[in-house]
Amino acid sequence: EVQLLESGGGLVQPGGSLRLSCAASGFTFNNYAMSWVRQAPGKGLEWVSSISANGYSTYYTDSVQGHFTISRDNSKNMLYLQMSSLRVEDTAVYYCAKDWGDLNNWFGPWGQGTLVTVSS
């Protein structure tokens, strides 16, 4: 069974940094692209970033380009999102999602999410 377990969320002040992690199991991790998708409280879904199966290709939504970095460690079956210069509008539940292949770009399954709150 595929399992994705996010961690690392919490309360951070504007301008601060946080690193999210996603532990993957139940599938051959290095065969699949992975993504982060977020959901602000009471709002819809927003794609944040994707990384190819081998980690060589990364993609970002414009609003996080330059202050978020996606990475993966295929030896540990781990996905990461390094977030810096955090803004109030980055407050959201962040979901880790498995790609259907290598950048097919539809997602399933998803983790349960980790809440990031940016507030002073």
The nearest distance, CB 108 to another protein, in angstroms, is 3
Q: Which is nearer to another protein, 55 or 113 (CB)?
A: 113
Q: Which residue has the tokens 């980790």?
A: 114
Task: Copy the structure tokens of residue 90.
Answer: 């980055």
Three-state DSSP class for residue 63: coil
The nearest distance, CB 92 to another protein, in angstroms, is 13
Residue type, 69: T
Q: Which is nearer to another protein, 108 or 120 (CB)?
A: 108
Binding site for another protein (CB under 8 A): 35, 37, 44-47, 50, 59-62, 95, 100, 104-113
Q: Which is nearer to another protein, 17 or 63 (CB)?
A: 63
68-91 burial, b for 16+ CB within 10 Å, e for fewer? bbbebeeeebbbbbebeebeeebb
The nearest distance, CB 75 to another protein, in angstroms, is 26
